[in-house]
Structure 1
Amino acid sequence: MADPIFYAPMPALTLAELADVAGAELARGEPGLAISRVSPLEDAEAGALVFFDNTRYLDALATTRATACIVAPKHVAKVPETVALLVSKDPYRSWARVLARLYPEAMAPLAAYEAAAGISPRATVHPTARLEENVTVEPGAVIGAGVEIGSGTLVGPNAVISQNVRVGRDCRIGANVVLQHALLGNRVILHPGVAIGQDGFGYAMGLGGHLKVPQVGRVIIQDDVEIGANTTIDRGANRDTVVGEGTKIDNQVQVGHNVNIGRHCVIVSQVGLSGSSTLADYVAIGGQTGVAGHVEIGMGAQIAAVSVVNDAVPAGGRYGGTPAKPVKQWFRELTALKKLAERGSDT
């Protein structure tokens, strides 16, 4: 699975060492048995570690030739007896811990041009910009006047960091990222093509023409946020657009002006958050969902993919549909419509 062209071969680890990394219990297998690769179930060979957490893949599990498997207690009996068992309450999180240990370079974008830290002679850095030690600036990048960048940060090729932007330590700014009117915390990851801090969409409409409303707020990105490729986050109109600590945003998401996203939220691809909407902590929104302006979504709420949220969602709510409603009600309506359609086809 891991191509040695892009990632160094993983070090061989024993089952005991892997159990410790994964936070799992070694329930079957020799503690000193060596594991030299990770693989999907269907491609695994001897010496490979796999994980199982979805019953859709039972057939692949039954025929796997892997040496060891990370598995939940409820699925232990489904694993072939020839496969060693690492039992975890949350196999996917254990798998994530193992991969992070084995392939740390896959955790964030790497330097595209060369690994050595320093400022490329083909980058443009304004003399008033302040860069701490151990900052990497790759060819074609532009660092504007008054910019501050913390130690350990990588700025990728052709990225543009406009004047007075602040970037924290150990950040990864991918190729072709554009930052303006923004303050970034530490360990922020921006994948290629992200645009942050451009105008929010604001016009005073009228018959004589639409008057542009200047957007004078900022974008605040807190620590440990990761933002996927080609996502756009508009700066605030009259207050800040905020993305809270630990939030993960997928590719091609649009965040409008004055949006306030809480801590540890998950926002999947092609979601659109309209201006002044608010997400409390730990909100999860499925792909291609739209959230109307000025709507509040409560803590821990979950929104199904391809939904339209045009009214408040309470904390802990599970909503879906167009317009979004509690999932039990949504499913009842879908079932009723299906029965009505089937009855109509019989007449």
Structure 2
Amino acid sequence: MKEFDKAWKLSQVASYLGGNLVGDPERLVLGVASPEEATSKHICVLWEKKSFKELKEDVPVVVPFNWLGPNRVGVEVKDPKLAFVKLLSLFEEPRAAKGEIHPTAVVFDGARVHPRAYVGPLCVVGEGADIAADAVLEAQVFVGKNVHIGEGTVIEPHATIYHDVALGKRCLIHAGVSLGGEGFGFYSVNGKLIKIPQVGGVVIGDDVEIGALTSIDRGTIGNTYIGPGTKIGDCVHIGHNAKIGANCILVAMTGIAGSAVIEDNVIMAAQSGVKDHARIGKGAIIAAKSGVTKDIPPGKIVSGFPARDHREELKIQALTQRLPEMYERLLRLERLCKGVEGEDEEGNSSKAN
């Protein structure tokens, strides 16, 4: 179990979480642990009684109110799941030092790097790019011409930010992401594919997180847009001129074709997809491996291919599992009907008058 350089007193943890302290306020906590790995040096967050009862008494815990008896040490809170998220931030690894451009980085003339920004080893910052305060570019990040990196945004190693991309504040771009690459656009003339120039850009709102190896294409004309607060998983593809609303969740390996519109608060589960120009309404949920081929109304839950109402899809799946049984019943009915009709082995009717 990992221990961190900075220890927190239990009283500090309780104050930070806004909870009720039980036990020694000077007790030191060196990290967060799972129930299976917890020791007396770490704190464990629990929201199920079974795990709480099985945990050793000397392990500090964060639990719901009124769970801690006289022999327990920890913090009682209203929402332990939310407390877990907050608690992890106390022990999060610090980012690279601010206010530095590594000697191996290449910053072109005309680029603007704020004095509090960090540009790591072997990064490239193109002409006209603007890196705002407290932004962090880890090793080998490519930033093209006229790119804007917002305040506090972090870009992990090997990400590629092509020209004319604007990133908002406090975004997190994971390793290997491609932003602003050419969209997949071709026009067929006499069987020959002619490339359609892609001259637009990408605009990404504040507080967006983009997972490793995800690609977001620039617009053919105009911009591909990602709304504020949206979280995108690993290996997602978003095509040119797609519009993604605020606070959406796009889980790993989701695919969104060009010019599709995803309204606010939509959830697209793993390996789901949407065709070009389709619209998914606000708050809709697209189940895993579903294929959206037409517009989806707001708040709808859909699944399957083509994606349909989730309850209807479940009925279809249930019936599909019964096909062997239904097939046998059909054969029996067919044999029974043949007997009534008096068909011979060759299927010739011999029904009596």
Match of 2:277 among 262, 279, 294: 294
In the alignment, structure 1 residue 133 sits paired with structure 2 residue 129: no
In the alignment, structure 1 residue 39 sits paired with structure 2 residue 30: no
In the alignment, structure 1 residue 336 sits paired with structure 2 residue 332: no
**How far apart, in 2, do the equivalents of 1:263 and 1:128 lie?**
33
- C-alpha contact 1:43 1:64 (8 A) present in aligned 2: no
Matches within 5 A, 1:20-59: 20-24=15-19, 29-30=22-23, 32=25, 34=27, 36=29, 37-53=31-47
Could you tell me which amino acid in structure 1 is paired with residue 16 of structure 2? V
Match of 2:158 among 176, 192, 196: 176
Q: CA 1:310 to 1:86, structure 2 compared with 1: closer, same or farther past 3 Å?
A: farther
**How far apart, in 2, do the equivalents of 1:335 and 1:80 lie?**
48
Q: CA 1:217 to 1:63, structure 2 compared with 1: closer, same or farther past 3 Å?
A: same
Q: CA 1:341 to 1:13, structure 2 compared with 1: closer, same or farther past 3 Å?
A: farther
In the alignment, structure 1 residue 154 sits paired with structure 2 residue 157: no
1:230 to partner: Cα distance: 0.9
Aligned to 1:284: 267
- Alignment RMSD, CA only? 2.6
Could you tell me which amino acid in structure 2 is paired with residue 183 of structure 1? A
1:33 to partner: Cα distance: 6.5
- C-alpha contact 2:35 2:51 (8 A) present in aligned 1: yes
Q: Aligned with 2:322: secondary structure?
A: helix
Aligned to 1:102: 91
202-211 or 243-252, larger mean C-alpha shift: 202-211
Could you tell me which amino acid in structure 1 is paired with residue 210 of structure 2? I
Q: CA 1:342 to 1:18, structure 2 compared with 1: closer, same or farther past 3 Å?
A: farther
Unmatched segments (≥5 aa) in structure 1? none
63-72 or 235-244, larger mean C-alpha shift: 63-72
- C-alpha contact 1:42 1:60 (8 A) present in aligned 2: no
1:95 to partner: Cα distance: 0.6
Instruction: Give deviations 1:111-140, integer Å, cap 9, x for gaps.
Output: 3xxx36311221111111111211211121
**How far apart, in 2, do the equivalents of 1:286 and 1:72 lie?**
30
TM-score (norm 1): 0.85
Q: Aligned with 2:321: secondary structure?
A: helix
**How far apart, in 2, do the equivalents of 1:337 and 1:83 lie?**
53
**How far apart, in 2, do the equivalents of 1:118 and 1:17 lie?**
32
**How far apart, in 1, do the equivalents of 2:54 and 2:249 lie?**
34
Count of residues in correspondence between the two structures: 327
Instruction: Give deviations 1:177-210, integer Å, cap 9, x for gaps.
Output: 1112201111111111111001110001233411
Q: Aligned with 2:298: secondary structure?
A: coil
Aligned to 1:239: 222
**How far apart, in 1, do the equivalents of 2:118 and 2:278 lie?**
40
1:280 to partner: Cα distance: 1.2
Unmatched segments (≥5 aa) in structure 2? 333-353
**How far apart, in 2, do the equivalents of 1:254 and 1:140 lie?**
27
Q: CA 1:80 to 1:345, structure 2 compared with 1: closer, same or farther past 3 Å?
A: farther
TM-score (norm 2): 0.83
- C-alpha contact 1:299 1:315 (8 A) present in aligned 2: yes
